[in-house]
Structure 1
Amino acid sequence: ADDGGFESGAYNNSAIRTPNLDALARRSVVFQNAFTSVSSCSPSRASILTGLPQHQNGMYGLHQDVHHFNSFDNVRSLPRLLSQAHVRTGIIGKKHVGPEAVYPFDFAYTEENSSVLQVGRNITRIKALVRQFLQSQDERPFFLYVAFHDPHRCGHSQPQYGAFCEKFGNGESGMGWIPDWKPQLYHPEQVQVPHFVPDTPAARADLAAQYTTIGRMDQGIGLVLEELQRAGFHNSTLVIYTSDNGIPFPSGRTNLYRSGTAEPLLLSSPEHPERWGQVSQAFATLLGKSP
């Protein structure tokens, strides 16, 4: 997830409907104390893909546009290490790290060669790309990184789609249509306001929009898992769900408070069904995703 927090049934939010995340949680170990090493997009993603904190991998700030931060050229990233181990790698969605030589993927549809709205929020397009990747799979093991752009805010770049791009693809005039998405709308009075967010009408309206985009991502997760099953890999694939940083609200993203650094983390292993549904209080770091 992109700026995803704990707004799901898997983390006891009863105001939002996330049936696919909830089903995944029932087949996972659910971590209550997982943390990113840095509460900002590119640095966090670089840390996840290198196993190194930002001061060691070089990604001190955002990668895009005038910021232009990059990891050090000698960093041995996860896709590099996996390639050396003869593992096929793929990424679909938001990449937001560089340089390309440090983060090479065998199969890549990201903002670098596509519209981030299409590969990060259009769940029908994401489904098709996942199917393409799995259908072209050879005898090697694979690593597929599906990086949803939901539920990131989008009002600064595409304000016509709403504060969280909650209107993108909803079928209304000028919004486009995502065939696999059944939008779920929420009223501001329905949401659960996190304890660290001021309970104001503006915050509630934003949370209602955020819930709609979380619902789109949730349905996308369901489609990805269906493709995994269709291709026959569901009983041999470790599935991990997490986020890069806290939600884009006061005291959330870019803050060092727990509300900015704590992340959802679901680990679903088909080899350990006895662990499914367990809740772990162990402290975990997203640095542990890479060797």
Structure 2
Amino acid sequence: MTTKRPRRGPARFPGLGAVLLAVCGVALPATGPARAAERPNIVFILIDDQRFDAASALGHAFLETPHLDRLIERGVLFENAFVTTSLCSPSRASILTGQYAHRHGVLDNRTRLDPETPTFPQELQRAGYRTAFVGKWHMGGTSDEPRPGFDRWVSFPGQGLYYNQTFNIDGEKVPRQGYTTDLITDYALDFLAARAGSEEPFLLYVSHKAVHAPFRPAERHLGSYAGRRYPPPATMPNRHENYDGKPNWVEAQRRSWHGVDGLYDNSVDFQQFALDYAETMRGVDDSVGRIVGALEERNLLEETLLVFTSDNGFQFGEHGLIDKRTMYEASIRVPLMVMAPWLDGGAGGLRRSEMIVNLDFAPTFLEAAGVEIPDTVQGRSFFGLLEAGPGAEPPPWRDAFLYEYFWERAFPQTPTVLGVRTDRYKFMRFHGVWDRYELYDVQADPEERRNLLGGFITRHGAGNVEARLRVAAASAARNPRDDWAREVLELKALFDRLSGRLDELLDETGALREPSWLPSR
């Protein structure tokens, strides 16, 4: 297998060791920033279904997250972080492999990741890292046996429970009493305690069940936001202007399990749902505080790359929808905070605007550790962005990424969608439904209220928009000074550019332009 070599090898300061050996007669182990520059510890904290704005420092109306806010103050906030498939298992498989879902094959929440597929924990383990996984795995339904790449394994099947979870600990089933977010954190701290004083670098992958629905806060947080009101998004009311130009399936979904008018079979009040989410998030914030505190207490923080993110976003009423899966911003955007205290660009409250996707974590961790990146990886390392301090010239970055979601038989409300997201535009191409396209200027219209194809579809029909645009543009070209003709020609040019970019990304990544539904393995 050919490999991509990282820019930096494992030995960052070979001359320093030689000098110490000559002067002292012994090579002293690197500590603190010097050790981090050689092979940093890696702590990866993955949350389930956390929205991009679900923290007090990120703009939530009332949620208090002092520990997440502290991460933002001390590290780097990537303000444009996304997932390439907004669904738990496909996204988690993309994080592990650095691959799109169509490549790694985990298209739903029941499919197992092929154990032969290279993952970043396996590569780190082979390079001498001590590796631990603690929390929700999810890929493979009811399966919770230890997976390749981890020396320490603490997990449970499927979604797990918020209280009194039975854990699989290195192959042994251990019933536990208590709140799962706290128990996961306890196991993570046990691993950190065991690593204190060791010269062996480690990977700690902490994967929380929270904040997956149905939400259950810790007892200490239950009712802490009683009486507060979550401000519904402007696109939530069932009004004509909120669905004008939108595909028919969007309005229909608001009456389903994943819509505000059918929320979980009408078993949940929207406002209580939002309060439960916020109260459950407080347990996550506590966990982050405990983990960072343990790293500081054991003098590990200065030599640790710490990354916090979510497996996908979550819609809270946008367009009348709940949950994820769609390509709307609330579904695909995630929080991303990074601390790398020894790097100029890894600390100090910096904010970056580059588009990061979940495929980028695997190569970033491998480059940070000086480990070769397998050529199976489709993401890009953003370690160079962390190295670039304030005012430094950042490395060239992506101008677009591919989004893909494949229709699920268990949740048929959302159709298959392939799309492209640039820094300004979002283009969606649907499969298996009559309404085939959406197109938004997300800079001018961040709430995605105006489908730029909507007016044309209203006038000409939803069917084969591509062919109808060609006909209309040919007619408009004969009278280009007419306002309507200019609009059609501009729309046709934008459609062709984004549709062409989507096809390029599909071809580059080995995806089918016309996907078909694939059952679970």
State the TM-score bracket (shorter-chain normalisation).
Answer: 0.7 to 0.9
* 1:146-200 Cα distance to aligned partner (Å, 9 max, x none): 111111113xxxxxxxxx112xx41xxxxxxxxxx55562135432434555598
Does residue 3 in structure 1 map to residue 49 in structure 2?
Answer: yes
Q: Deviation of residue 232 (structure 1)?
A: 1.9
Match of 2:77 among 30, 34, 43: 30
CA distance in 1, matches of 2:204, 2:152: 9
Q: What does residue 227 of structure 1 align with?
A: 294
CA distance in 2, matches of 1:248, 1:283: 20
- Residue type of the partner of 1:270? P
* 1:218-250 Cα distance to aligned partner (Å, 9 max, x none): 111111111212222111111111001122642
Does residue 107 in structure 1 map to residue 152 in structure 2?
Answer: yes
CA distance in 1, matches of 2:146, 2:272: 42
Question: What TM-score, normalized to structure 1?
Answer: 0.81
Q: What does residue 216 of structure 1 align with?
A: 283
Does residue 288 in structure 1 map to residue 360 in structure 2?
Answer: yes
- Residue type of the partner of 1:32? E
CA distance in 1, matches of 2:148, 2:89: 12
SS in 1 for 2:216: coil
Checking the alignment, whether the CA contact within 8 Å between 2:137 and 2:158 is kept in structure 1 is: no
- Residue type of the partner of 2:48? D
Q: What does residue 147 of structure 1 align with?
A: 207
Q: Deviation of residue 104 (structure 1)?
A: 3.4
CA distance in 2, matches of 1:106, 1:234: 22
CA gap of 1:191–1:57, structure 2 versus 1, over 3 A, is same
- Residue type of the partner of 1:245? N
Structure 2 counterparts to residues 65-144 of structure 1, below 5 A: 69-97=111-139, 103-112=148-157, 116-117=161-162, 118=165, 121-137=179-195, 138-144=198-204
CA distance in 1, matches of 2:235, 2:133: 33
* 1:86-121 Cα distance to aligned partner (Å, 9 max, x none): 111111111112586864311111114996535795
- Residue type of the partner of 2:117? V
SS in 2 for 1:238: strand
- Residue type of the partner of 1:227? A
Q: How many equivalent pairs are there? A: 265
- Residue type of the partner of 2:133? I
State the identity %.
28
Where structure 2 has 5 or more consecutive residues not aligned to the other structure, the ranges are 1-46, 168-177, 239-259, 261-267, 364-521
CA gap of 1:35–1:195, structure 2 versus 1, over 3 A, is farther
Please tell me the root mean square deviation across aligned C-alpha atoms, in Å: 2.7
Larger Rg: 2
- Residue type of the partner of 2:206? V
- Residue type of the partner of 2:349? G
CA gap of 1:205–1:116, structure 2 versus 1, over 3 A, is closer
Q: What does residue 246 of structure 1 align with?
A: 313
SS in 2 for 1:223: helix
Q: Deviation of residue 268 (structure 1)?
A: 1.0
CA gap of 1:265–1:97, structure 2 versus 1, over 3 A, is same
CA distance in 1, matches of 2:341, 2:121: 23
CA distance in 1, matches of 2:158, 2:226: 36
* 1:5-47 Cα distance to aligned partner (Å, 9 max, x none): 1211221224111111001110121111111110000000000
- Residue type of the partner of 1:3? D
Where structure 1 has 5 or more consecutive residues not aligned to the other structure, the ranges are 64-68, 155-163, 171-180
Q: Deviation of residue 287 (structure 1)?
A: 0.6
Question: What TM-score, normalized to structure 2?
Answer: 0.47
SS in 2 for 1:143: strand
Higher relative contact order (CA 8 A, sep 6+): 1
CA distance in 1, matches of 2:312, 2:158: 24
Checking the alignment, whether the CA contact within 8 Å between 1:80 and 1:102 is kept in structure 2 is: no
Q: What does residue 190 of structure 1 align with?
A: 229
Does residue 55 in structure 1 map to residue 102 in structure 2?
Answer: yes
Checking the alignment, whether the CA contact within 8 Å between 1:252 and 1:259 is kept in structure 2 is: no
* 1:131-154 Cα distance to aligned partner (Å, 9 max, x none): 221122243211111111111113
Checking the alignment, whether the CA contact within 8 Å between 1:94 and 1:116 is kept in structure 2 is: no
